[in-house]
Amino acid sequence: MKPKLLLAFAFVILSQTYLVADLPYMPVRFRLSTDKKIYKPSERICFRLKIINWDKTRSYPIVLPGTQNKGQKLIRIGAYSVNQKTQFYTCVAKDSPEMTMKCPAPGGVSTHNLAPGDSTEIVFFLNDNKNFLTQTASHHSLDKTLEPGKYEVLIFFDPSGTELKDLYHYIWSTNDSTSAEKLNFWLGGNVSNYTSIEISKTAANPKNLGAVCADNCSFCKQIEEKNWKQIKNTLEQNTKKSENFDVVMRQLDWMRFHRNVIWVSAPPQSVLSSLPTYFSYDFIFVSGEDLYYFGVGYQWGIVYRSRSRFHQVFRSFRPEPLLPGEDLSYVGLTYFGERACDLPAKQKR
C-alpha cells in the first residue's frame, strides 16, 4: 500500500474512533416497527416501539406513556420523504408536541425497570379517530395528511416534559457534561430507527402475521362479537393459581398470540409484600374497524376472616387447624372493563 494511501486510511480510522469516543453513553435504544408496510390513505397505523437496554450490568427506569393526558407528549411521530438520488430526507409531516385530550381528571406516565439486556414493548396509533381524545396511545395526529407515496417514519422519545423528567440527565451537544448515574437523553428527545411505510389507494389488508390462533378461534370470535361477558368468563377460566410470583404475574401470556389482540401490557414487576395484594393488566382488542381498550384486575392471596378468628380462639387446642385461615395461592378477578379517561367508573364486573 502506498504511503499516502496508508496515511489517508489511518486518518479515516482515527477520525471515526474519536467520533465514537465523543458520543455520550446511551445504552437504551428505541426500535420502531409497524404491523404492515402498505396502508390506505388515512388508514389507522399501528406502531410498535421496542425499548431495549443494551447495558450488560445496569438496570434503568424507563418512563412510559401510561395514562398521560396533559402537557408535552412523551412520544412524537415524524414522517419523511426521501430523495432516491441524493438520499436527502425531508420532513413532510410531524406530530403535535402537546396533548389535547378531553379527560376530566389528569392521568400520568408510568415507569418500567429495564434490567440488563431486557426490553419492553408499547404500541401507539396514528389515525385512530374513535379513540383520539380519550386514549393516550391513540392521541397522535400529523399536521399534514400523508398523500400516496413512500415514507420513512421515526419517533422522538422525550421524557423532559413529564412529571418524572428528573429521572434523567439531558444534554444538548457532545460537548455537554454527561451523567454516570442517570440515563443520558438528548434535549428534544432520543430518536428511534426509521421504519418504512407506503400509502397506497390499492393497499390490501393482510392478517395479523404475528398471531398463531386458528381461523375459527373461539376467543377471537368473542372479541369480534363484542361479547365482553364471555371474554370475562374466558379470563376467569385461564386464571393461574400459584404461590410463585413469576407464575402469578404472567396471567395473560396466552392472550398475546391472538389475532384480535393488538397488545397486552407487560407483566407487573412488583406487588405489595403483604397478602392479599392486587395487580392489573391493560390490553387492546380490535373488533371490525375499531379498537377497544380494556383492563383486568386480580387479587392474589386471600384471608378468611371468620376462619382466622376461629384459629385465634382454638389454636391452643389444635395446632393443625381444620380449615386454613388463608390461601396464598388464590388468584381471582376483581374487575374487567373498558378503559377510557372520560369513563373512569365504567367497568364490566
How big is the chain by its Cα radius of gyration, in Å? 25
Would you state the pLDDT for residue 5? 44
pLDDT tier, 254 (very low <50, low <70, confident <90, very high otherwise): very high
| Distance from the first to the final alpha carbon of the chain | 77
Supply the mean pLDDT for the chain.
Answer: 87
Would you state the pLDDT for residue 326? 79
Q: What are phi and psi of 203, to 5 degrees?
A: -65, 140
Mean per-residue pLDDT for 134-152?
96
Beta carbons within 10 angstroms of residue 115's beta carbon: 12
Would you state the pLDDT for residue 273? 82
pLDDT, tens digit, 9 for 90 and up, residues 98-131: 999 999 888 999 999 999 999 999 999 999 999 9
Place of cell 407487560: 266
For residue 55, pLDDT beyond 80: yes
pLDDT tier, 210 (very low <50, low <70, confident <90, very high otherwise): low
Would you state the pLDDT for residue 346? 42
Would you state the pLDDT for residue 323? 47
Would you state the pLDDT for residue 343? 61
Kindly list the domain boundaries of the chain, sorted by start residue: 26-199, 218-338
Question: Which has the higher per-residue pLDDT, 252 or 340?
Answer: 252
Would you state the pLDDT for residue 7? 47
Mean per-residue pLDDT for 334-349?
70
Alpha-carbon distance of 137 to 128, in angstroms, equals 9
For residue 96, pLDDT beyond 50: yes
Helix (H) or strand (E) holding 32: strand 28-34
pLDDT, tens digit, 9 for 90 and up, residues 297-334: 999 998 876 544 444 444 444 455 444 567 889 999 99
Q: Is-contact 104 67, C-beta < 8 A?
A: no
Amino acid symbol at 343: L
pLDDT tier, 25 (very low <50, low <70, confident <90, very high otherwise): very high
What cell numbers appear for 83 in the block?
A: 430523495
What cell numbers appear for 60 in the block?
A: 434503568
3-state secondary structure of 240: coil
